[in-house]
Amino acid sequence: MIKQLRDLMRSKGIDAAIFPQTDPHQSEYIADHWQVRRWLSGFTGSAGALVVTPTEAYVWADSRYWLQAAAQLSGTGIAVMEEGKPEVPAITEWICSRLTDGQTVGIHGMLFSIDATEALRSRLGEAGIKLDTDFDAAGELWTGRPALPDAPIFVHDVKYAGEEPSSKIAAILAETFRCGANAIFISDLAEIAWTLNIRSRDVESNPVAISFLYLSETDSTLFVDPRKLTPEVIAHLDSCGIATQPYDRTLPFLAALPDTARVLVSPSQTAGDVACALGKNRTVRHDSPVAILKGCKNETQIEGIRQAMRRDGAALVKAFMHIEADVAAQRPLTEMGIADLLTHYRSQQPLYFDQSFDTIAGYGPHGAIVHYSATPDTDARIRTDNLLLIDSGANYLDGTTDITRTVALGQPTERQRTDFTLVMKGHIALAAAVYPEGTRGAQLDALARQFLWQHGLSYLHGTGHGVGHFLNVHEGPQSIRLNENPTPLRPGMITSDEPGLYREGEYGIRCENLVLTVPARTTEFGRFLKFETLTLFPFDRKLFDLSIMTPQEIQWVNEYHDKVRRELSPLLSPEENAWLTERTMPL
């Protein structure tokens, strides 16, 4: 396919082409129709861009995907740029080192945000290189391309959502007016789903509907494939004052707005082509006000996620008992089999909808691949001579879960126990943190890394990401990571706590719970916040090295395990309770 692409580039006067892993909504997880980079390269990671010139081709992949990209791209003629290493140049710098004055870079303008398009245009311009935003290689070359999804939309009941769309729209427009705009254009699929209390199955594991949303006091429109609209959904939208137009009418609609329109767009979430359609005078650039509104869960959502965690924990007890039984009886069990077991037991729980992401079950060396996904070619047999890392989650109508546990099905080595305990010490330090209002995730991140750092160890991924409510398992605006993020942690935000350690070719360790930001206390020095741990499932007691733990850390684990036992016990059979009691005994 790269040869055909290069032929097309030559015919269009394109000297380098960039293919990001996203869609016109700047999504992390995307429908098959927009899997252009995967179609061209064969690399299946959820992040990373492909760059092709007449003689070279590279995928820029972050640390989560270095090993996976190297394996999947082997023999394709496409090499890996290990993004994040000091010696690896940014894409624009690499292109500027390869192209000369007067040459042209091609991109699809709906697949690059306003910010990304302008930054690219500016840097290329410094080198005399032109940018063509109309290069749609997939549209010309991809025969058999999957169609845009047409799954029906359904209404997310207010008894789970906790707030009617009309109330949310009023709050969004109030923030929009404060920003000097009289309308807002929303591209982010999760923001649209949250605003309108609608869901669908357009993106695997993400219950969103492919659409754009325009809101104003006088004219609000959802741009969506009409085949997705049921009579119930049409009535629901009508009650919110939302008209509909076909998805492909979005840009013409924006281009035809009156000169008096002042439309707020998020420059990081909105495609560059949208800014072109609106024109400079009708565009007001500002961070989306929806992100904070959506990120701070209401009381109904918070109670829903607590209930979902109980059912999820019960399902995990059943699944892990099954896993242990199979291994003990030496019945064949593989990584893919574990994923199937987790889905099976979760799907039996009330209000289950789907998994919240593809399960990561990595045995031994596969656990060191941060976003490993087993395939029939890599599917490893589960044994007792190494660690098993399982990162999984589910979407229930009343909440979204995401949990990682690392377990030893046999006897762990002393180094494995030390590594695990260092990771857990960081997990506990973050979970137990008390911090002043206004604290950002980057200010807390070192709490989770400090014990690893003291031993010359580290991990390269973030420590925590926001989690949606019956929505995307990754959401902003908050995060806990080394990179600065200006958004402070606020009450109602749900964030993961997931430090890790990965020894390439040996094993990986990650320990993840979801935590809720809640008030702690108010003193003469201001208001302080803390975390409430939401996830309910034990950590592997065999992996703790008590000799390097403080009494306070041991107490935290014991109190957490006591809570897990009390919360899950009513949902379990006597046999399951016996299993859980043994695994939550005090350290």
Model confidence over 142-160: pLDDT tens digits? 999 999 999 999 999 999 9
- Render pLDDT for 305-332 as a digit per residue (tens, 0 to 9): 999 999 999 999 999 999 999 999 999 9
Gap between the Cα atoms of 459 and 323, Å rounded: 28
Please report which helix (H) or strand (E) contains residue 265, including its range: strand 263-265
Whether 106 has a pLDDT exceeding 90, the answer reads: yes
Whether 1 has a pLDDT exceeding 90, the answer reads: no
State mean pLDDT over 446-471: 97
At residue 571, the pLDDT reads 98
Q: In this predicted structure, which of 239-253, 361-375, 547-561 has the lowest mean pLDDT? A: 361-375
State mean pLDDT over 229-256: 98
Gap between the Cα atoms of 299 and 301, Å rounded: 5
DSSP one-letter string for 19-37: E-S--TT--SS--GGG-HH
What is the pTM (predicted TM-score) of this model? 0.95
- Render pLDDT for 15-55 as a digit per residue (tens, 0 to 9): 999 999 999 999 999 999 999 999 999 999 889 999 999 99
At residue 64, the pLDDT reads 80
Residue 65 pLDDT class (50, 70, 90 cuts): confident
- Render pLDDT for 284-296 as a digit per residue (tens, 0 to 9): 999 999 999 999 9
Residue 378 pLDDT class (50, 70, 90 cuts): very high
Question: Domain spans of the chain?
Answer: 2-141, 154-294, 296-583
At residue 46, the pLDDT reads 86
State mean pLDDT over 166-187: 98
Q: What percentage of residues in the chain have a pLDDT greater than 70?
A: 100
Gap between the Cα atoms of 390 and 541, Å rounded: 16
- Render pLDDT for 128-137 as a digit per residue (tens, 0 to 9): 999 999 999 9
At residue 147, the pLDDT reads 96
> Regarding the domain delimited by 154-294, which CATH topology (the fold level of the hierarchy) does it fall under?
Creatine Amidinohydrolase; Chain A, domain 1 (3.40.350)
Domain 2-141, second-level architecture: 3-Layer(aba) Sandwich (3.40)
CA end-to-end distance (rounded Å), the chain:
57
At residue 67, the pLDDT reads 83
Gap between the Cα atoms of 565 and 232, Å rounded: 42
Mean pLDDT across the chain: 97
State mean pLDDT over 88-105: 97
At residue 330, the pLDDT reads 92
Q: What percentage of residues in the chain have a pLDDT greater than 90?
A: 96
Q: Strand, coil or helix: what is 393? A: coil
Closest to 98 in 3D by CA, of 53, 50, 128, 60: 53
Residue 195 pLDDT class (50, 70, 90 cuts): very high
Q: What is the chain's length?
A: 587
What is the Cα Rg of the chain in Å? Answer: 24
Whether 236 has a pLDDT exceeding 90, the answer reads: yes
Cα–Cα distances (Å) from 495 to 259, 401, 468, 501, 557, in that order, read 41, 11, 9, 20, 19
Ramachandran sector of residue 466 (left: φ over 0; alpha: ψ -120 to 50; beta: rest)? beta
Same fold, 2-141 and 296-583: no
Residue 89 tokens read as 């140049």
CATH of 296-583 given 3.90.180.10, 3.90.1150.10, 3.90.230.10, 3.40.50.1000? 3.90.230.10
State mean pLDDT over 463-467: 98
Whether 511 has a pLDDT exceeding 90, the answer reads: yes
Other residues' Cβ atoms within 10 Å of the Cβ of residue 230: 12
